[in-house]
Amino acid sequence: MTKTKIAVITGATSGIGKVIAHELVMCGYSLIVLGRSEKKMAALKSDLSKKNVHASIKTISCDLSSLKSILEACEQVGAHSAQIDLLILNAGLWNFEFKETIDEIEETLQVNLLAPVVMFQRLIANMPKGEGAKVIFTSSALHQGTINFSDLEFRKKFSGFQAYRQSKLGILLLTRWLAKQEAFEGLSYYCVHPGMVNTELGRSAGWFSRSIFKLFGKSPSKGAQTHLYLIDRSAEELTSGEYYANRRVTRTTSYSYDMVVAEQLWHAINALTVDK
């Protein structure tokens, strides 16, 4: 008998992640959903159960703007499931003004970059090595530019665009770096640009930016296609450490291939969690 595969997903209560969650349940995955809103998770669970009455869906409360919440959620995941076959770290936000989390870290940096790094490190022990388990991060084509190491949180001069751009560049750099590390061998790592998608991402933007998403964004179903492609294909058919857009490996900026920068970022991100 084939064993049921287990997927853990963040950002499934809205947009692209919601479509991915639906597809996973339809494909027979057992799902663990991590989200900050109990109400949205209950609604999602109810929808998913209607799609597949045999589906196993566990929801776990997890606010990525709190390290305590992230660590507690990861512990609960571990207690619920000894094995994770698919880890989809998709949740993200785009702030248009400076906001600090309860951990006193700029919110975009924490939710989009630090949270996936911490979750990956906490959950990797539950991922079987050499059996095709995958980690999929959500990046963006807006990953241009460099990492602002002298002021990672843009405290001196905040720009929501710069903070978002940097967080997505960080995810891309670390996807490549993780795939090259001996310590993290046995899994495969991918990051995705979903395209411009009409979701709730621009919720805190002004009406103009929101209208751009609405007018020019594709549907969440279309936006989820590259994630679904990566989920569907075996690790042998894919390239670990790569950035995928429109269902294929896509060339990115030369800076985003710099593994010295990636390693520096890995340490800088981990240093932020010390004493928290």
Return all residues near 257 (Cβ < 8 A) that are at least 6 apart.
176
194 binds ligand NAP (CB under 6 A): yes
| Count of residues in contact with ligand NAP, rule CB under 6 A | 30
Residue number with CB closer to ligand NAP (180 or 203): 203
- Exactly one of 84, 201, 231, 261 binds ligand NAP (CB under 6 A); which one? 201
Residue number with CB closer to ligand NAP (59 or 65): 65
What's the first-to-final CA gap in the chain, in angstroms?
A: 45
Name the one range near ligand NAP by CB under 6 A: 42-50, 143-151, 194-202, 258-266.
194-202
90 binds ligand NAP (CB under 6 A): yes
Structure tokens at 264: 């520096």
67 binds ligand NAP (CB under 6 A): no
State the binding string over 13-52 for ligand NAP (x if CB under 6 A, else -): xxxxx-----------------xxx--x------------
Instruction: Annotate the chain with DSSP letters as a single string.
Output: -PPPPEEEEES-SSHHHHHHHHHHHHTT-EEEEEES-HHHHHHHHHHHHHH-TT--EEEEE--TT-HHHHHHHHHHHHHH-S--SEEEE------SS--B-TTSSBHHHIIIIIHHHHHHHHHGGGSPTTTT-EEEEE--TT--S---GGGTT--SS--HHHHHHHHHHHHHHHHHHHHH-GGGTTSEEEEEE--SB-SSTTTTS-HHHHHHHHHHPBPHHHHTHHHHHHHHS-GGGS-TTEEEETTEE----GGGG-HHHHHHHHHHHHHHHTT-
Distance CA 239, CA 235 (A): 7
**243 φ/ψ angles, rounded to the nearest 5 degrees:** -100, 125
Between residue 105 and residue 144, which ones bind ligand NAP under the rule CB under 6 A? Answer: 111, 138, 140
166 binds ligand NAP (CB under 6 A): no
State the binding string over 69-88 for ligand NAP (x if CB under 6 A, else -): --------------------
Name the one range near ligand NAP by CB under 6 A: 77-85, 148-156, 198-206, 238-246.
198-206
Give the nearest distance from C-beta 10 to ligand NAP in angstroms.
6
Residue number with CB closer to ligand NAP (80 or 180): 80
Give the nearest distance from C-beta 230 to ligand NAP in angstroms.
14
The angle subtended at Cα 120 by Cα 115 and Cα 121, nearest 5°, is: 100
Give the nearest distance from C-beta 30 to ligand NAP in angstroms.
20
Name the one range near ligand NAP by CB under 6 A: 125-133, 143-151, 197-205, 249-257.
197-205
Give the nearest distance from C-beta 165 to ligand NAP in angstroms.
11
224 binds ligand NAP (CB under 6 A): no
Site for ligand NAP, rule CB under 6 A: 10-11, 13-17, 35-37, 40, 62-65, 90-93, 111, 138, 140, 193-194, 196-197, 199-201, 217
